[in-house]
Amino acid sequence: MSKETTYAGMLGSWQRWVAALLANVSELSHLEVPRTQLNTLAAQGQELIRRQSELTAAKQDASQELGVVMVEGQRLMTVLKLAVKQHYGIDSEKLAEFGLLPFRSRRRRKATEPPPPLPE
């Protein structure tokens, strides 16, 4: 018999033992107290596994709801950023107050002389 490593496997093993102990109660009456304790622990374990499954499902639902809220929030942020840029202008330094970079054109390079033609 292999050693159970999952909670469900352990609980199944415990229940099989409780059933076997009950079937042989006349021969193993001295193990009545530990059998009762094991039966109680198996019932508690099953209830906790059921609760854990419910909480996992609730967590998944909350994660999906959070994703929807975050997408809607990002869309609204995009609208607000564009509205602020439209109101103040894309080159206004006031945009920095909102964490936006104002448009600053590149500095023009000085016109350089073209290189002399190559001798032929």
- State residue 2's pLDDT score: 64
What's the rounded Cα separation, in Å, for the pair 91 and 106?
12
Quick one: tokens of 99?
Answer: 């964490």
- State residue 109's pLDDT score: 73
What's the rounded Cα separation, in Å, for the pair 89 and 94?
9
Average pLDDT over residues 51-69: 96
**pLDDT > 90? residue 9:** yes
More confident residue, 117 or 19: 19
What is the pTM assigned to this prediction?
0.59
**pLDDT > 70? residue 3:** yes
